[in-house]
Structure 1
Amino acid sequence: MKKNPYYVILTGSKNNAGDFLIKYRAKSLFKELRPDREIIDIDGWKPFDEDTLTLVNGAEALLLMGGPALQKNMYPSIYPLVDDLSKITTKIALMGVGWKSHSGLWGDSQSYPLSDKTKILLKRIQSDGLFSSVRDYHTWNVLSRNGISNVLMTGCPATYVTSALDESFVKPENINKVGFSLGVSFIESPEMLDQMRNTILTLKEYFGSDVNFEVVFHHSTKKEFLKTHNATSNHLKSHLKFIDWLGCNDVKHIDISGSADNLINYYSSCDLHIGYRVHAHIFMNSINKASVLIAEDGRGKALRDVFGGLVIDAFNHLDTSFLGKVLRKLKLKSGYKAYNKQHEETLDVIKYEIENDFPRLTASRSSINANFEVMKQFLNKLP
């Protein structure tokens, strides 16, 4: 019997605004480039029941979508799917998936740990024969080193707005609104906490009272956050404590969690983004606006090789040894060697770009457009 013309996509949008943007932009790409297929969106963290399995097996393909899903226990921790992959009879592929490395070194991609079950899933994807898509070259290398060859580096689906492809970077005539996206490494690292605080205060002073300067939270700062899958009380408490500090220092903040619209509407109103959130940086580049990413992990560092732009490393070294991981888990030592003058360097970079018409930001569009051609190739190769 002929299958219905639809794809099932497994997405990870729980609370983080960036995850919602991935799904939103991916669906837009399908609508524009593969209008012959309907899209059925399923929460990727939920195991399949019988009805879901029937739905999946009726699809032209099952696409594991976006986010830093390529982790040691990708299957079954990130994608529970089913206990026996042979129960899935349609073909499986990845779309816009990325790695998750704290230190973000290229060498990490050469010896990236993957569980036996994760390797079983990846081998299944390889044997199914469809091309997969990843969001950066570090992820591509992880898969390549593990014998997964049918992979295209397309960039994250969130990068693409087809109406912006023929436009150029927009140099802001005036900077009236700046959004500073807060990272998450401060939760486990006092060094990164100090860095973020110092950077916020330095930038607030530089832009002055005439500029609307706000710290932006991509995760929820409300108690309802704890109802989110895998949410922790420490995550929420750390964010609320940071908000208290912002209040004591007369710094405004805003919560844009929970939807793509919140992210799109907020950053569209900004003249400049600075900060640690990868999808704030991706979004601003996608609409040709100014952005400076401070990379707090491998997701941000890998993005530098995808479309360039302005990416600054947040730290010089991270102890990734077994002992270092244990000490970090026990909250005895974070292992981060953060650059203690990062706030000064970030300010110098921003001042240079503003004073010289943003030379490093104007080149991103050509790289994004080149990657978009690969994304189109990937989508057109899907059944």
Structure 2
Amino acid sequence: MIKKYLSNCKGKVDILLTTYPEKKSRNVGDNLISHSALKIAKSLDKNYAPSVYFRKKNLDEIQENIKSILAPGFSVANKTYPKFYNLYSDLSQIKNFFPIGCSFQYPGVYLNVFDNFEYSNETLHFLERITKKHGALHCRDELIIALLKKHDIPSVYSGDMALYDPEMIGVHGKRIKDIKSIVFTVQHSPIYNKQAIRILKSLKEEFGSAELYISLHSRKNNNDKLIIEAAEALGYKTLELSGEVENLEVYKNVDLHVGYRLHGHIHFLRNRKPSVLIVEDVRSYGFFLTTGTSVGCFPSLRELDSTINMQLDHNICSFLRSQIDNQFEAYEALNEFIDLNYKKVIRPFYKNFIRKRWLEKIKLN
């Protein structure tokens, strides 16, 4: 987990609210979001050293000493406040609040969710209050933006914070001619077990000489064990990567990602490497339907009847063959999209964030 850095500004602190569940699933993807937000901020102000708290932390006791609150991956689902985020009991006291890369969660099948979803009056009131005081919500996909705008909540696109590494902006993607290693990330839902195993088998057949890995981003559960057993029988090696962001460093020695984990996909993209995302839930669906990030995304369900696509393995392998022939040229436009958005949206947002927290420091002192 990110270390809980403390500000040395006479007891006044910056707060970073993380979505990383250290004591539960230890989902490394959530940790990557916070890690990325911190790295971007520190690239602009090396003295930025926030205290890191889980999103459910109530901040009442320290509200008088807070300079700023950065909330990467902030949820805009129903009951965001106070179910997912406790913040302050008295929201009129919240100041210098910076939600970025706002997310949306919804259980079950992802198709048609955004068409039919309605916010509760309580959540709408909260979102209206936050945007009136702190400005438009910066969201991680275009479907979330459309949903908020349908409810007259101002919003703009920022993308997921994990997409951005200041050290990689402007770096060209690797033009891979030969796939020597592949990692497959395991899905959340057991309804995709048969589909996942078919894809594992097809990757083995298509890339038999490659080093093959199967990867877990959260703590292992019973369903994971079933998929791992099937994968290891095919010759895959298992990687258990939940917890620390540093665990993902192993991916730097892997050529290609294929799988269901959104932040496995994003980790490869941020490092300018090719990836295939199998769209399993509403988060990945938003990523797939966002202009600029749709490359390499394959819906797990058929649009016509919402049934599981059992031919997806053939579609993925055909796509990969075509991309290998072109040295993954299609991903260059995605890299350019990330670079442009970083320069036009992300960097200005964080510059404004740094400026306001220093103004608050001066006022507090």
Coarse TM-score class (shorter-chain normalised): 0.7 to 0.9
Q: Within 1, Cα distance between the matches of 2:137 and 2:13?
A: 17
Q: Within 1, Cα distance between the matches of 2:94 and 2:20?
A: 25
Q: CA, structure 1 residues 3+74, in 2 after alignment: closer, same or farther (shift >3 Å)? A: farther
Q: Is residue 8 from structure 1 mapped to residue 15 from structure 2 by the alignment?
A: yes
Q: CA, structure 1 residues 58+133, in 2 after alignment: closer, same or farther (shift >3 Å)? A: farther
Give the SS at the match of 2:218.
Answer: coil
Q: Within 1, Cα distance between the matches of 2:169 and 2:149?
A: 30
Q: Within 2, Cα distance between the matches of 1:96 and 1:141?
A: 15
Q: Is residue 275 from structure 1 mapped to residue 259 from structure 2 by the alignment?
A: yes
Correspondent of 1:72 among 66, 71, 78? 78
Which deviations, in whole Å up to 9, do the C-alpha atoms of 1:274-332 show, x marking residues without a partner?
A: 1111111111111111111111122222223253321111111498xxxxxxxxxxxxx
Q: Within 2, Cα distance between the matches of 1:133 and 1:5?
A: 26
Cross-structure match for 1:254: 239
Cross-structure match for 2:3: none
Q: Is residue 339 from structure 1 mapped to residue 345 from structure 2 by the alignment?
A: no
Indicate the RMSD between aligned Cα atoms, in angstroms.
2.4
Cross-structure match for 2:347: 376
Q: Within 1, Cα distance between the matches of 2:113 and 2:226?
A: 33
Note if contact 2:140-2:160 (Cα within 8 Å) is conserved in structure 1: yes
Give the SS at the match of 1:338.
Answer: coil
Give the SS at the match of 2:302.
Answer: strand
**Structure 2: gaps spanning 5 or more residues:** 1-8, 357-365
Q: Within 1, Cα distance between the matches of 2:47 and 2:148?
A: 30
Give the SS at the match of 1:167.
Answer: coil
Cross-structure match for 1:331: none
Q: Within 2, Cα distance between the matches of 1:212 and 1:109?
A: 39
Q: Is residue 127 from structure 1 mapped to residue 112 from structure 2 by the alignment?
A: no
Residue identity matched to 1:89:
I
Q: Is residue 359 from structure 1 mapped to residue 343 from structure 2 by the alignment?
A: no
Q: CA, structure 1 residues 174+317, in 2 after alignment: closer, same or farther (shift >3 Å)? A: closer
Shift in Å at residue 54 of structure 1? 3.6
Cross-structure match for 2:298: 312
Q: Within 1, Cα distance between the matches of 2:292 and 2:241?
A: 25
Q: How many residues align?
A: 338
Cross-structure match for 1:113: 118
Residue identity matched to 1:339:
N
Q: Within 2, Cα distance between the matches of 1:56 and 1:146?
A: 30
Q: Is residue 145 from structure 1 mapped to residue 145 from structure 2 by the alignment?
A: no
Q: CA, structure 1 residues 110+104, in 2 after alignment: closer, same or farther (shift >3 Å)? A: same
Q: Is residue 28 from structure 1 mapped to residue 33 from structure 2 by the alignment?
A: no
Q: CA, structure 1 residues 35+128, in 2 after alignment: closer, same or farther (shift >3 Å)? A: farther
Q: Within 1, Cα distance between the matches of 2:27 and 2:285?
A: 20
Residue identity matched to 2:131:
Q
TM-score scaled by structure 2?
A: 0.84
Which deviations, in whole Å up to 9, do the C-alpha atoms of 1:226-266 show, x marking residues without a partner?
A: xxxxxxxxxx2222232233344443221111111111x12
Correspondent of 2:285 among 301, 306, 315? 301
Cross-structure match for 1:232: none
Q: Within 1, Cα distance between the matches of 2:70 and 2:219?
A: 27
Which deviations, in whole Å up to 9, do the C-alpha atoms of 1:16-52 show, x marking residues without a partner?
A: 1111111111100010124464422111134x1xxx4
Q: Within 2, Cα distance between the matches of 1:9 and 1:18?
A: 16
Q: CA, structure 1 residues 249+205, in 2 after alignment: closer, same or farther (shift >3 Å)? A: same
Note if contact 1:3-1:58 (Cα within 8 Å) is conserved in structure 2: no
Note if contact 1:13-1:20 (Cα within 8 Å) is conserved in structure 2: yes
Q: Is residue 241 from structure 1 mapped to residue 226 from structure 2 by the alignment?
A: yes
Give the SS at the match of 1:242.
Answer: helix
**Structure 1: gaps spanning 5 or more residues:** 222-235, 320-335
Q: CA, structure 1 residues 300+89, in 2 after alignment: closer, same or farther (shift >3 Å)? A: closer
Q: Within 1, Cα distance between the matches of 2:131 and 2:291?
A: 24
Give the SS at the match of 2:332.
Answer: coil
Q: Within 2, Cα distance between the matches of 1:193 and 1:273?
A: 18
TM-score scaled by structure 1?
A: 0.81
Q: CA, structure 1 residues 140+287, in 2 after alignment: closer, same or farther (shift >3 Å)? A: same
Residue identity matched to 2:262:
V
Cross-structure match for 1:206: 206
Q: Within 2, Cα distance between the matches of 1:35 and 1:132?
A: 26
Q: Within 2, Cα distance between the matches of 1:153 and 1:60?
A: 25
Q: Within 1, Cα distance between the matches of 2:277 and 2:181?
A: 17
Residue identity matched to 1:302:
G
Q: CA, structure 1 residues 202+343, in 2 after alignment: closer, same or farther (shift >3 Å)? A: same
